[in-house]
Amino acid sequence: MPLIMVFGDSLSSGYGLPQDAGWVSLLKNRLLQQRLHYEVVNASISGETSRGGLSRITQSLTAHHPSIVILELGGNDGLRGQPVEATRDNLEGIIKACQQYGAKVLLIGMRLPPNYGMGYTQKFQSIYPELAKRYRLVLTPYMFEGFGYDLSMFQADGIHPGAAAQPIILDNIWKTLKPLLG
């Protein structure tokens, strides 16, 4: 059975949510409901950076043998004010490893709060469409589309989406994932 590997940070690992409430669990349910025979492995780690992801992508590819990788990293880099170029290079390394392995990559775009400054946030946001274009990837432009500015959809920390937001996140990702499923 082909396998989808979700490779992300706390936004995909289900941080602060009941065990089956995260969008990755909801994805498993949707695949079953639609009789799409894919296994889903969540290789996401809370707090993960693009550098951390780059350091473990080869091991994850070898361990799980995915046909599709949903890449959701970079947000923690931005929140820590890491150089945009370093984040781009790390994501590029992950993408290249996935493609060399023969896996299709669905890239999830990230945005930062405006308090990081217009220049930094625009440079950061541009990483995702640039990489998607360069490597001919499918891109989910923004996983928080439709609720990103509604604080009631987030947990108390204001960073992690709550349970009510998870179906919306899945719908945002599903639009770009479904064509990859064949």
Active site members? 10, 157, 160
Contact 75, 15 (CB under 8 A): no
Q: What is the chain written as a DSSP string?
A: --EEEEEESHHHHTTTS-TTTSHHHHHHHHHHHTT---EEEE---TT--HHHHHHHHHHHHHHH--SEEEEE--HHHHHTT--HHHHHHHHHHHHHHHHHHT-EEEEEP----GGG-HHHHHHHHHHHHHHHHHTT-EEES-TTTTTTT-GGGB-TTSSSB-GGGHHHHHHHHHHHHGGGG-
Unique residue bearing structure tokens 């541009």: 126
Half-sphere exposure of 46 (CA within 13 A, CB side): 8
